[in-house]
A and B are shown apart, each in its own frame.
Chain A
């Protein structure tokens, strides 16, 4: 059994340690807010937070996870997170499939620096692809969350 600290709770799962966290969440724990899109850590759609840092869960073996995992389901559990509110205010999502990852990537970015420079924003947000092209609105939503 592997015990995870997930969205504020301890969760035990009986899976091989090499199983990627993505599939433990989606197929074992039925938490489908974390999305599959490439499986090789190339697109960032499976991004979640481990101790507040953005990680790609499709290439993260569950046995190697150390720390508190936050998925999109856990982000708003004490009311809508300011980043989620900004995403609504700027009408960011289109198809919405990559948006849990975009939101969590932005949460990690703003958690590390509440007023990030353009280079830091690019480094964080280039890590998550969006096929619908919501990038201009992601930029606006992040600006809305800045604390100067």
Chain B
């Protein structure tokens, strides 16, 4: 299978029978040979190396190692379902296992909505290979032809006689069978796929037993809070820690390259003592940086030379009308509910890390580099993640925690805790962006679409050459799906000292807003309905049209309430297609999004309810940004400090959401991020209609 994310390449299946009380164990290696892994990661005596993927124990339970992080998107359910589907397992006997970071699991990076779509085939086939081995073992036991055997949810059944053997009973025998070639994807009949089976992570999440990074508790553990530079690029000149050190429970004050840390016996003492530090900071080179300067830089850039991201067709010689508009979006913070944290224990020449991370492999490499340790000496245990949204692909907190732990005079497990203010003021922000759009119209048609984007680049924060295009900076703009004789998309990376990071749906989060609002402006100028113009211009984009038609149908069943308006947006991202219609009202209480209708085509489906919940969540996440999200820069620092000035949508602000998932035979697309891009333009298109004037700037409140 060609992975949309990267080449999976050669893979091998390993069979290890009998050891450690396990029956059949199947392991998969990605992209390299077994021998090379052995050299990098020596197998340990008396236990399985972590390159084990699927284990069937002799009691019939099935353990499936989940090589991605559970952020709430449901990988603890969806990925085991793919394996269990090929295996024909009894779902109630399936137990997900979160492995340590290890290259043996292939890519553990949980990002770009890739977990299901990049692993669909390899996971199903690994289950199917195990199933074939179990059937072969059963056939030998019964002395019958394999063709007479079938499976039924954890059992091999001899069809003519009705005899049955459980997978657990067959596991040891099966492990001696050769690993078979299994059929191509389309030959495997779906058994569990398409059903909303019970989520494996939920019981622990309702009884309080789920362990997030911040819940790691180890004997003798200490807690740290770090005072970071108060402005971008500020440097420490001096520190007086007398008051901080005098607080009962403070163990040590540590100065590192990242700032000054207080280490204490509990989190509360560490945070209080951190505030009692007297610190003298050199203001640094950006002390006079204001948000208005960044806006000015974007404006200067958009008027200058831009790199060509896409150009197709030729500009029309004559147009009867030209539309211009500018759309603007601010910096945004991730603000996951679980504050940023990392637990590090340096002992006996080793480093143990517990981290709520989207990138366990990167955390391991970072620690290896910082400490000069080899791979087997650095263990990274990914925990449940209390919200990722892209923030936890970054690993600053790991660097900070390792630096503090190295300076402990009495070695102990150390948990670094960021306060909410630390989180909002030291995040890696979604870039702000300025869009300038031009449409040329004639004979009732869209003749030309020109989209210019100026924005800081996550990939090149110091700015790019005038010819360089940041691929994630233009995603969602460069694919402009509407048919027109001329399309031009241009981009310029604008340098900024503001730290930047990946934020759920990345470039799509602001490009969908500009494109889907401006296409509404085009429709209005042409005297067409937003849906009719889109439908016409999407004649060669059947999946866009499919979701558009579906959302129109479901919205038509519910009459529009008086005093409200509806707005439409259609957007493709991560190989999936989403259309939304938002119903918006406004009164003296402010803007209110009452309903959102949504249609999704994300290809083949593992678990419909996981998709629905991600779309609902994406809508609420995107709504927080559209209504309230704004990070403000003043004097070279971020102003916002908590949930009072960085507001999130609440229960009562959350709309009624109708999600329709279209059935599709297409390859699986991404799901985790696709609900975010269309909600802002759908709401703004509705609001503009309601107000009778165009809104082109976020946030709305």
Name A residues whose Cβ lies closer than 8 Å to a Cβ of B.
Answer: 16, 19-20, 23, 26-28, 30, 32-40, 42-43, 45, 71-73, 75-76, 80, 84, 87-88, 91-100, 103, 121-122, 125-126, 128-139
Q: Does B644 contact A (CB under 8 A)?
A: yes
- Give bound CA distance, A61 to B335, whole Å: 26
Is B609 in contact with chain A by the CB < 8 A criterion? yes
With A33-B209, A35-B386 known, 20 other A-B pairs at CB within 8 A are A27-B268, A35-B214, A43-B643, A72-B207, A75-B207, A87-B206, A91-B202, A91-B609, A93-B72, A93-B205, A94-B72, A94-B73, A96-B384, A96-B386, A97-B336, A97-B386, A130-B337, A130-B651, A131-B336, A133-B618
Picked from A16, A45, A122, the residue with its CB within 8 Å of the CB of B337 is A45
List the B side residues contacting A134 at CB < 8 Å. 613, 616-617
Interface stretch, picked from B34-42, B116-124, B440-448, B652-660, is B652-660
- Which residues from chain B contact A23 at a C-beta distance below 8 Å? 266-268
- Give the most central of B339, B613, B621: most A CB within 10 Å: B613
A-B contact pairs, 22 of them (CB 8 A): A30-B217, A32-B211, A32-B215, A36-B417, A37-B339, A39-B271, A39-B419, A40-B642, A75-B208, A84-B206, A92-B206, A95-B388, A96-B384, A98-B337, A129-B650, A131-B389, A132-B72, A133-B616, A133-B649, A134-B613, A136-B655, A136-B657
Tell me which residues across on chain A come within 8 A of B387, comparing CB atoms: 95, 97, 131-132
Contacts of B74 in A (CB 8 A): 94
Quick check: B621 and A39 within 8 Å, CB to CB?
A: no
Residues of B within 8 A of A94 (CB): 71-74, 613-614, 617
**Nearest-CB distance from B498 to chain A (Å)?**
22
**Is B620 at the interface (CB under 8 A from chain A)?**
yes
Min CB distance, B523 to chain A, in Å? 29
Which residues of chain B have C-beta atoms less than 8 A from A121's C-beta? Answer: 651
Q: For the complex, what is the distance from the CA of A129 to the CA of B651, rounded to whole Å?
A: 7
Q: How far is the CB of A49 from chain B (nearest CB, A)?
A: 13
Q: Complex Cα distance A100/B613, Å?
A: 19
The reply to whether the CB of B139 lies closer than 8 angstroms to some CB of chain A is no
CB of A135, distance to nearest CB on chain B (Å)? 4
The 9 A-B pairs of least Cβ separation, nearest first, read A133-B620, A33-B208, A94-B72, A97-B386, A95-B72, A96-B205, A72-B208, A135-B654, A32-B215
User: Which residue of the partner chain, among A26, A96, A122, A130, contacts B210 with CB atoms under 8 Å?
Assistant: A96
Is the pair A97, B337 in contact by a Cβ cutoff of 8 Å?
A: yes
A42 touches B642 (CB 8 A): yes
* Given A23-B267, A35-B337, residue A99 in contact with residue B206 (CB < 8 A): yes
Of A80, A91, A138, the residue contacting B651 (CB under 8 A) is: A138
- Return B618 CB to nearest CB of chain A, in Å: 7
Give chain A nearest CB distance to B279 CB in angstroms.
20
What is the distance, in angstroms, from A65's C-beta to the closest C-beta of chain B? 15
How far is the CB of A144 from the nearest CB of chain B, in Å? 14
The verdict on B203 contacting chain A, using a C-beta distance below 8 Å, is yes
Which of B223, B338, B417, B644 counts the most A-chain CB atoms under 10 A from its CB? B338
**In the complex, are the beta carbons of A95 and B339 less than 8 A apart?**
no
In the bound assembly, the distance between CA atoms of A102 and B210 in angstroms comes to 15
Q: Distance (Å) between the CB of B4 and the closest chain A CB? A: 24
The answer, yes or no, to whether B201 is at the interface (CB within 8 Å) is yes
Question: Which of B265, B621, B649, B650 has the most chain A CB atoms inside 10 A of its CB?
Answer: B650
Complexed CA–CA distance, A103 and B656 (Å): 20
Residues facing A in B606-642 (CB within 8 A) are 609, 613-614, 616-621, 623-624, 642
Contacts of B223 in A (CB 8 A): 27
Closest to A122 in B: B652
Residues of B within 8 A of A27 (CB): 223, 265-268
With A32-B217, A138-B651 given, is the CB distance from A131 to B420 under 8 Å?
no
Query: Do A136 and B616 touch (CB < 8 A)?
Result: yes
Decide yes or no whether B55 CB sits under 8 A from chain A: no
Alpha-carbon distance A136/B611, docked complex (angstroms): 14
Known A-B contacts A43-B643, A93-B201, A96-B210; A122 and B649 likewise in contact (beta carbons under 8 Å): no
Residues of chain B contacted by A34 (CB below 8 angstroms): 208
Minimal beta-carbon separation of B47 from chain A (angstroms):
28
A69-B202 Cα distance, complex, nearest whole Å: 24
List chain B residues, Cβ under 8 A from A37: 337-339, 420
- Judge if B346 is at the interface, Cβ distance under 8 Å: no
Determine the residue in chain A with the shortest Cβ distance to B201.
A96
Closest to A96 in B: B205
Shortest distance between the CB of B37 and any CB in chain A (Å): 32
B-chain residues with CB within 8 Å of residue A122 when the two chains form the complex: 651-652
Interface: B140 (CB within 8 A): no
How far apart sit A93 and B70, CA to CA, in the bound complex (Å)?
A: 12
* CB < 8 Å neighbour of A38 from B266, B384, B643: B643
Interface residues in B220-276 by Cβ distance below 8 A to A read 223, 248, 265-268, 271
- Whose C-beta in chain A lies nearest to the C-beta of B214? A36
Whether the pair B335, A131 counts as a contact (CB closer than 8 A) is: yes
State whether the Cβ of B385 lies closer than 8 Å to any Cβ in chain A: yes
CB–CB B206/A131 < 8 A: no
Alpha-carbon distance A98/B271, docked complex (angstroms): 21
Residues of A within 8 A of B266 (CB): 19, 23, 27-28
Kindly report which residue of chain B lies nearest to residue A73, judged by CB atoms. Answer: B208
Closest chain-A Cβ to B206's Cβ sits at a distance in Å of: 5
Distance A92 CA – B202 CA, assembled complex (angstroms): 8
Minimal Cβ-Cβ distance residue in A for B207: A76
| Contact status B72-A137, CB under 8 Å | no
Q: Mark B266-294, 1 if CB is under 8 A from A, else 0.
A: 11100100000000000000000000000
Among the interface residues B205, B208, B209, B211, which one has the most CB atoms of the partner chain A within 10 A?
B208
Q: Among B209, B335, B338, which residue has its beta carbon within 8 angstroms of that of A95?
A: B338
For residue B212, CB closer than 8 A to chain A, the reply is yes
Please tell me if the beta carbons of A132 and B207 are within 8 angstroms of each other in the complex: no
Once bound together, how far apart are the Cα atoms of A92 and B201, in whole Å? 11
User: CB-CB < 8 A to A129: which residues of B?
Assistant: 337, 643, 648, 650
CA gap between A32 and B354 in the complex, in Å? 15
Nearest B residue to A84 via CB reads B206
What residues on B are CB-neighbors of A33 within 8 Å? 207-209
Asked if B691 is an interface residue, CB under 8 A from chain A, the answer is no
Contacts of B7 in A (CB 8 A): none
How many Å lie between the Cα of A33 and that of B389 in the bound state? Answer: 22
The verdict on B195 contacting chain A, using a C-beta distance below 8 Å, is no
